[in-house]
Amino acid sequence: MPYFQVYYGNAGSSYGLGAESRKALNRARADIAATLQAKPEEIYFTAGGTEADNWAIRGIAEANKEKGKHIITSQIEHMAVLQTCRFLETQGYEVTYLKVDSQGKIDLKELENAIRRDTILISIMYANNEVGVIQPVRQIAEIAHEHGVLFHTDAVQAYGQIPVLASMDGFDLLSASAHKFNGPKGIGFLYVKGYQKINSLMKGGGQELGKRAGTENVAGIVGMAKAATMAIREMQERIEKTERLRALLWAGVFENISHVSCNSEAKEHLPGILNISFCGREAEQILGYLDRKEIYASGGSACSSYDRKPSHVLQAMGKSAEQIRGAVRFSLGYDNTEEEMEQVIEKLMKMK
Ligand code: PLP
């Protein structure tokens, strides 16, 4: 709030009030960098995960087009990645979309076999937003680097929820978004390792070391850094609590409701995502019913509930049409409670 009300100067201005905003921006950059064990100058603020994904992929593709025009991604990426890749296909780039297994994991052998002499970038999400499966990020980075290829990971669902470290995971670029870790909406960042050459997406003024033009959203950035610091500090506690709630919810649904199956069965999964298929039912109908009880869940991706297409993630995992039609995603936060889980189970049991 102080950055809306008191220190509202433009961080790019030379007057005193602007200097306060600039200091806050620098502190926030250092705080975010510390959570990743990265350097402050490797963090660029963006208007969220979508911009960070678009920028990472287009920026690297355009900066490296003399080296090659082949990109590898997976079939279960968020639309921010998939649509950027599709756009690049219209610009003369080639994209390989890796398959996933029934739990949503990519095959590392298949990844290695897909690498060509002209491959410039691998973009594989850290964890999936619909089912919560976590990909083997460290091994992907190793394979990429053995072949001299850059590795971008969309960590929008993972950063702030599970340990994500530049030093440990080895990615070259990472996208994150504040509203996934209890921060404000419409703010995020792109991590770009070292002095990696990347073309800018937003052209204009000299903000963000000249790489991302546009007046900085100081209040959003300060809010994001605060939320990130808290998420990292309380991470273990939050993971344990959310895992417990998730197990409780699944056990209650499984024991009391017939014809259900779990789409979040991978051993490596996010603690807060539980995707359940209610076979013989329509997700829309379940979501409407829950909504009237003030229980807010989503079908597939919350961010794409505008286009009601069958989930491309569940399709890639080989789920049946019936499982896909009845799939509901429950997203749990550390501040949910056991009583709330019991209420959800009870309401689902009473559903006609
Ligand atoms: N990537 C993933 C995996 C997401 O889940 C989302 C949004 O939910 C995004 C990207 C887009 O992020 P934003 O909504 O901040 O633009």
Q: What are phi and psi of 94, to 5 degrees?
A: -115, 140
Q: Which atom of ligand 1 is nearest to the CA of 50?
A: 16
Q: Which atom of ligand 1 is nearest to the CA of 51?
A: 16
Distance of alpha carbon 137 from alpha carbon 31, whole angstroms:
23
Q: Coil, helix or strand for 192?
A: strand
Say which residues have a Cβ less than 8 Å from residue 32's Cβ, sequence separation at least 6: 43, 189, 224, 225, 228
Q: For residue 164, how far is its CA from the centre of ligand 1 (angstroms)?
A: 17
* Residue at 43: amino acid letter: I
Q: For residue 255, how far is its CA from the centre of ligand 1 (angstroms)?
A: 33
Closest CA to 130 of 321, 306, 297: 297
Q: What are phi and psi of 162, to 5 degrees?
A: -135, 165
For the question of whether the overall pTM of this predicted structure is more than 0.75, the answer is yes
CB 145 within 8 A of CB 44: no
Distance of alpha carbon 314 from alpha carbon 265, whole angstroms:
13
Residue whose CB lies within 8 A of the most ligand 1 atoms, among 51, 74, 125, 129, for a mutation test = 129
Distance of CA 267 to the CA centre of its chain: 19
Q: For residue 6, how far is its CA from the centre of ligand 1 (angstroms)?
A: 31
- For the chain, domains (ranges, CATH) are 2-233 (3.40.640.10), 235-349 (3.90.1150.10)
153 has which bridge partners? 174
Q: Please report the pLDDT score of residue 303 as a whole number.
A: 46
Say which residues have a Cβ less than 8 Å from residue 209's Cβ, sequence separation at least 6: 41, 44
Q: Whose C-alpha lies nearest to ligand 1, atom 4? A: 156
Q: Please report the pLDDT score of residue 14 as a whole number.
A: 86
Q: Does residue 262 carry a catalytic annotation?
A: no
Mean pLDDT by 10 residues, the chain (352 residues): 93 91 96 97 98 98 98 98 98 98 98 98 98 98 98 98 95 98 98 94 93 96 98 98 98 97 97 97 96 92 61 97 96 97 97 89
Residue whose CB lies within 8 A of the most ligand 1 atoms, among 45, 50, 75, 182, for a mutation test = 50
Closest CA to 209 of 36, 39, 15, 65: 39
Q: Please report the pLDDT score of residue 301 as a whole number.
A: 56
Q: Please report the pLDDT score of residue 307 as a whole number.
A: 59
